């Protein structure tokens, strides 16, 4: 009895210290690979594992990585892809979300379940037939071909529907009395009310499509459309025999824009993933 009481008291005192140590250790382990990549990208080739302190840091790897592939075009393509996808998702999901939230149309429940099924029947799994479809539509090796399968996102429709449903109907009725049309109500009442949802969805969508790889790999065929992830995979391929330091530099280059954005907007990013993740 007494001995267990003593252990309990001692555990309570030691516990916060252990917690802090454990949390920090895990954090260190978790960022170590990334820190190592940054370190390797700044050391002369072959010196990445030389921690003796005599290593002279250099930006030479970044220059050779940058010169070895058309990165500017890759970045432009990723930017186009992310923008195209996001704008498309905003338009299509807004309209559909509004329909499912506020219109009592025939077959609504059934159609909505079909839409939700897409949360499980992922575009990634349908790569073979989606490739055939994109080719049939003449969109092979285009930004549109890369973005279109993701635009009618079941997730976006569901999120915006939830956001629109929480808007008080009185606001809509007031706007209608003022003479707003259906689309006017959507634009003046619902879209402004769902601003936080749009922001959260935008952050998650941009992060997802900036990082997407498999589908862009399949539907692109030329440097003029390839996004950075596909560019990086070609660059790092063992056949191309570039060394660790150069690959590190290229890797850091590819992740830098999102990482910097993440460091600046960490709170918003985490909030966005939270808001979007909870269904």
Partner 1 sequence: MAAASGSSQDAPPGFTMDQIALYQRRRQSLYGWMLAAPALILLTIFALIPTVTTLWASFYSKGTVRRPSAFNGLDNYTSLIHDPAFWTVVWNNALYAGITIPFSIAIALAMALWANASIPLRGVVRGAYFTPTMLPMIAAANIWLFFYTPGLGVIDSITGLFGLPPVNWLGQPQTALWSVIVVTIWKEAGFFMIFYLAALQTIPPDFKEASAIEGAGRFTYARRVLIPLLMPTTAFVFINALINSVKLIDHLFILTKGGPNNATKLILYWIWEMAFAYFDRPHAAAMTVLILLFLGAVAIFQFRVLDKRIHYR
Q: Which is nearer to partner 1, 106 or 179 (CB)?
A: 106
Residues 133-152 that bind partner 1 (CB under 8 A): 133, 137, 148-149, 151-152
- Count residues near partner 1 (CB under 8 A): 101
Question: Which of 166, 221, 233, 240 is close enough to bind partner 1 by CB under 8 A?
Answer: 233
Give the nearest distance from C-beta 68 to partner 1 in angstroms: 14
Binding status of residue 8 toward partner 1 by CB under 8 A: yes
Residues 12-31 that bind partner 1 (CB under 8 A): 15-16, 19-20, 22-24, 26-28, 30-31
Residue 220: closest CA among 106, 115, 135, 96: 135
CA atoms within 13 A on the CB side of 132: 3
CB 236 within 8 A of CB 68: no
Residues 33-72 that bind partner 1 (CB under 8 A): 33-34, 36-37, 40, 48-49
Instruction: Mark the segment that binds partner 1 (CB under 8 A) among 55-63, 64-72, 192-200, 241-249.
Output: 241-249
Residues 95-124 that bind partner 1 (CB under 8 A): 95-96, 98-106, 108-109, 111-112, 114-124
* Element containing residue 252 per DSSP (H, E): helix 244-264
Using DSSP, state whether 125 is helix, strand or coil.
Answer: coil
- Reduce the secondary structure of 73-109 to three states and give it as a string: HHHHHHHHHHHHHHHHHHHHHHHHHHHHHHCCCCCHH
CA distance 196 to 178: 26
Give the nearest distance from C-beta 76 to partner 1 in angstroms: 17
CA distance 81 to 84: 5
Residue 188: closest CA among 179, 199, 197: 179
Q: Which is nearer to partner 1, 24 or 192 (CB)?
A: 24
Question: Which of 52, 72, 110, 128 is close enough to bind partner 1 by CB under 8 A?
Answer: 128
């Amino acid at each position: 009895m007494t001995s267990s009481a003593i252990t309990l008291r001692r555990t309570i005192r030691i516990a916060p210290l252990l917690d802090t140590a454990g949390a920090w250790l895990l954090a260190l382990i978790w960022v170590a690979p990334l820190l190592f990549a940054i370190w390797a990208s700044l050391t002369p080739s072959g010196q990445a594992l030389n921690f003796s302190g005599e290593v002279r840091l250099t930006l030479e790897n970044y220059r050779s990585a940058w010169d070895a592939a058309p990165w500017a075009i890759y970045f432009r393509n990723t930017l186009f892809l992310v923008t195209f996808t996001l704008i498309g998702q905003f338009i299509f999901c807004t309209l559909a979300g509004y329909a499912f939230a506020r219109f009592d149309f025939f077959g609504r429940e059934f159609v909505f379940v079909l839409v939700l099924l897409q949360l499980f029947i992922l575009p990634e799994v349908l790569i073979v037939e989606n490739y055939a479809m994109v080719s049939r539509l003449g969109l092979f090796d285009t930004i549109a071909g890369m973005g279109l399968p993701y635009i009618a996102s079941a997730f976006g429709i569901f999120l915006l529907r939830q956001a629109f449903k929480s808007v008080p109907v009185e606001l809509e009725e007031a706007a209608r009395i003022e003479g707003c049309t259906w689309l006017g109500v959507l634009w003046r009442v619902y879209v402004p009310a769902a601003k936080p949802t749009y922001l959260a969805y935008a952050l998650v969508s941009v992060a997802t499509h900036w990082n997407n790889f498999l589908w862009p790999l399949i539907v692109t065929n030329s440097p003029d459309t390839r996004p950075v992830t596909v560019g990086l995979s070609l660059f790092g391929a063992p056949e191309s025999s570039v060394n660790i330091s150069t690959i590190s530099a290229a890797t850091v280059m590819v992740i830098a824009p999102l990482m910097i954005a993440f460091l600046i907007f960490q709170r918003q990013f985490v909030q966005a993933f939270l808001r979007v993740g909870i269904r």
